[in-house]
Amino acid sequence: MAEETKQATDVSSLEKMTVKDLRNLALQIGGITGVHAMKKDELLKAIKEIKGIEDVTTPNEYRSQTNRKLKARIRELQGRKEEARTANDRKKVNIIRRKINKLRKKTRRAA
């Protein structure tokens, strides 16, 4: 039991814990009601509040932010590609096209 409380101070170890372990930890800490009805994300949030651990952005929020940035960059590059195409700069068009392709792959991975 003492080992769990030592590990629980680390955010990454909290996230790796199972729901059963989180419930036991929440019961040990005290001050949290309705532990058995909570889901994992609710338990994590409650434990972090009690322990005073700052809640960083969740992976889904981070992904959506990065996806927006990537898509904005793609739109910017598409505009540059059209400018290069009107200037008949084939080399630049190919370079920008490859960059856009790589960014699209990143958005698929981030989704």
Q: Tokens for 77?
A: 């590059």
Nearest to 42 by CA among 66, 58, 61, 64: 58
Q: What is the pLDDT of residues 68-92, one digit of tens each?
A: 899 999 999 999 999 999 999 999 9
Domain that holds residue 91: 59-110
How many domains, the chain? 2
Q: Verify that 63 and 38 share a domain, yes or no.
A: no
CA distance 47 to 53: 8
CA distance 66 to 2: 39
Q: Tokens for 32?
A: 């949290």
Q: What is the pLDDT of residues 14-38, one digit of tens each?
A: 888 899 999 999 899 888 888 899 8
Q: Verify that 64 and 46 share a domain, yes or no.
A: no
* Residue type (1 letter), 61: E
Question: Sorting pLDDT into bands at 50, 70 and 90, what band is 103?
Answer: very high
CA distance 50 to 2: 18
Q: Verify that 44 and 74 share a domain, yes or no.
A: no
Q: Verify that 47 and 64 share a domain, yes or no.
A: no
The pLDDT of residue 4:
47
